Amino acid sequence: MKIEAKELSKIYGEGEGRVTALDMASLEIMPGDFISVTGPSGSGKSTLLHLLSGLDRPTSGRLTYDDRDIYSLSDRELSAFRRRSIGFVFQQFNLLPVLTAKENILMPLLLDRRRPDLAELEKLSRLLGIHDRMDHLPCELSGGQQQRVAIARALAAGPQVVFADEPTRNLDSRSGGEVMELLEKVCTKMGRALVVITHDSRIASMARRRLSIVDGIVTEVACR
Ligand code: ADP
């Protein structure tokens, strides 16, 4: 799936309090792309991620997923589109404490009344090294294992793209590095695009495409 953002802008407030959080951002995301987004606090990283993933709507600009204009969808259609096409990984793992790892992973699919593909789940949990932890509760898992469960949950619905907002922020540097390597590995293996916001220059340099954002202006800094 090709994602194309054209001149996306987001302006908050009016008059003196007016803030241009994102200023005419244009970019394309192709299947299998691994893109990092870095920039100082308040530069517009979360705004960019929220707009690219349809969590929020821009003040102006266009966003298409395979030529489909997603902001023309109603809120209900947009949330169904997000559930099926987009995976999210956040800095908080957001696992439900009373559910096992497996139940957490399958929850979004079940809420969407979709039948889980258990063979796919087995493959995913092996790739992420959590196959022997599937019947454990989150409190019985380390931070790194919990984030790997959250990654499996993001990928179980078969999204075309995964957006991750500071996915290693709550982890020590060793398990953070492991989690990022696994996230990249599963996305590459499954042909998913991956967009990661990070403060960590090591993680940013793992990405094949790097975006920098300053005062709402997005620039592509390197491509390898
Ligand atoms: P970052 O993720 O890089 O820290 P954000 O995208 O959260 O930056 O914010 C970019 C700018 O937009 C900041 O100046 C922030 O204060 C402002 N902003 C973000 N969300 C809102 C909002 N809901 N209302 C008003 N201003 C906002």
How far does residue 211's CA lie from ligand 1's centre (Å)? 18
Confidence of residue 111 (pLDDT cuts 50, 70, 90): confident
Question: What is the mean pLDDT of the segment spanning 195-216?
Answer: 94
The H-assigned helical ranges of the chain are: 45-52, 75-85, 101-111, 118-127, 143-156, 173-190, 201-206
Percent share of the chain, pLDDT over 70: 99
**Model-level pTM?**
0.94
Ligand 1, atom 6, residue with closest C-alpha: 44
- Over residues 161-173, the mean pLDDT reads 94
Distance 46 CA to ligand 1 centre (A): 7
Lowest-confidence region among 65-69, 111-115, 168-172, 190-194: 111-115
pLDDT at 61: 98
Q: From the CA of 194, how far away is ligand 1's center (Å)?
A: 22
Residue 224 has pLDDT above 70, yes or no: no
Integer Cα distance of 173 and 179 in angstroms? 10
Closest CA to 127 of 148, 146, 106, 157: 148
- Among 10, 18, 19, name the best residue to mutate to test ligand 1's pocket (greatest count of ligand atoms within 8 A of Cβ): 19
Cβ count near 152 (within 10 Å): 25
Average pLDDT over the chain reads 94
Query: Residue 30: how many CA atoms within 13 Å on its side-chain side?
Result: 2
By most ligand atoms within 8 Å of CB, the mutation choice from 38, 46, 49, 52 for ligand 1 is 46
Q: Which residues line ligand 1 (CB under 6 A)?
A: 12-13, 19, 21, 39, 41-47
pLDDT band for position 1 (cuts 50, 70, 90):
confident
Q: What is the total residue count of the chain?
A: 224
Which ligand 1 atom is nearest residue 47's CA? 6
Residue 222 has pLDDT above 70, yes or no: no
- Please report the pLDDT score of residue 76 as a whole number: 94
State the average pLDDT over residues 102-124. 92
